[in-house]
Amino acid sequence: MNTVISSAKQTVVIGSDHPFVIIGERINPTGRKVLTKQMIERDMTMVCRDARRQVEAHAHVLDVNAGVPVDGVEPEILRQAIQAVQKTVDVPISIDSSVVEALEEGLAVYEGKALVNSVTYEEERLETVLPLVNKYGAAVVGVANDDTGISNDPQERLRIATQIVERAADHGIPAEDVIIDPLALTVSADDNAALVTLETIRLIREKLGVNMTCGASNISFGLPWRPTVNAAFLSMAIAAGLTSAITNPLEAEIRHTIYAADLLMGHDAYAGNLIQAFRSERKRQQASG
């Protein structure tokens, strides 16, 4: 099953027979003081810089989140950030907010078929986000949790994912436009966290067949060697059936591991993408060094 998203200039296909899709996570003010300050002042300098740098680092899609700690301003800032990113780079955008008004503002100015990040299996969320996704013909990330929270049982996560796909269908959104987030929690707090996610990915691939993405950086919270832990997790998740991830392509270890995993999964004929990425990085290094 293929999920197609697009900008005005580029189309990206997410699917198990396609190269793994990197959704760049950097444009997000959480924990970033300078970016937060600039966003609140409606200054999009760092947003544009992060967009450029992530695309240079082979991000296929950019996640844009404007969740600053000021009440009521997110819709306007998200709209401005999306407009700024669209002017700066050509890749499609994942519009990231839990505020429905912000999603709507973002979708209204977006040129192409966006990815909406995200909806959970919570009645109020389903009934506000899904009509919006349908109205704008977007794709949507469905997070495998419901009103009762996040289950540690992969079967339960599969059940919720299945219900999200069904509810999306009720709203006229086909299964290929639903990307399930199997949820990666930190292994800092629970040794089994990654195993639960990996098993959920296997189950969803087998029973639902839809595409999947997840915020892969969560897994290593509070640990040393974070990029290594993230990269190891990603390569296991790719083997299990994950087809895209919201992660940081600026970390070479993560970026390189994804290329390597893709090659090993048979998604990169003659290692063409890996070699090309290697050359472009070497060229940039030589240019800057």
Partner 1 sequence: MSREEEIKEGLYEHTLVGEAAEVVELTQEGIDLGMDPLDILFGALIPSLQEVGRLFEIGEYFVPEMLVAARAMQGAMALLRPLLVDKGAEPIGKVVMLTVKGDVHDIGKNLCNIMLEGEGFEIVDLGVNVKPEDVVAATQEHQPQLLGFSAFLTTTMPFFKSNLAALSDAGLRDSVKVMVGGAPVTQEYADSVGADGFAPDASAAVRLAKQLMVDMGYDVSMGGDDGEGATALASAVQAVEELMVKSGQHEE
Interacting residue ranges for partner 1, rule: CB under 8 A: 25-26, 28-35, 67-71, 97-99, 120, 147-150, 185-186, 188-189, 217, 221-224, 248
Nearer to partner 1, 3 or 145 (CB): 145
Nearer to partner 1, 189 or 269 (CB): 189
**How many other C-beta atoms are found inside a 10 Å radius of the C-beta of residue 8?**
10
CB of 149 to partner 1, least distance (A): 4
Nearer to partner 1, 25 or 268 (CB): 25
For residue 177, give every residue at least 6 positions away whose Cβ sits within 8 Å of its Cβ, in sequence order, or none.
3, 133, 138, 139, 140, 168
CB 93 within 8 A of CB 61: yes
CB of 209 to partner 1, least distance (A): 28
CB of 58 to partner 1, least distance (A): 18
Nearer to partner 1, 98 or 134 (CB): 98
Give me the long-range contacts of 187-194 (CB less than 8 A, separation at least 24). 187/219, 187/220, 187/223, 187/229, 188/220, 188/221, 188/222, 188/223, 189/222, 190/152, 192/152, 193/219, 194/219, 194/233, 194/236
Nearer to partner 1, 11 or 30 (CB): 30
Nearer to partner 1, 92 or 215 (CB): 215
CB of 176 to partner 1, least distance (A): 27
Listing DSSP states for 193-253 in one string gives HHHHHHHHHHHHHHHT--EE--BGGGGGTT-SSHHHHHHHHHHHHHHHT--EEEE-TTSHH
CB of 147 to partner 1, least distance (A): 7
CB of 8 to partner 1, least distance (A): 27
Nearer to partner 1, 17 or 153 (CB): 153
Backbone Cα Rg of the chain:
18
Question: Can you point out the beta strands (E) in the chain?
Answer: 3-6, 11-14, 21-27, 61-65, 93-96, 115-121, 139-146, 178-181, 211-212, 244-247
CB of 215 to partner 1, least distance (A): 10
Environment class of 225 (CB within 10 Å of its CB; exposed 0-12, middle 13-18, buried 19+): exposed
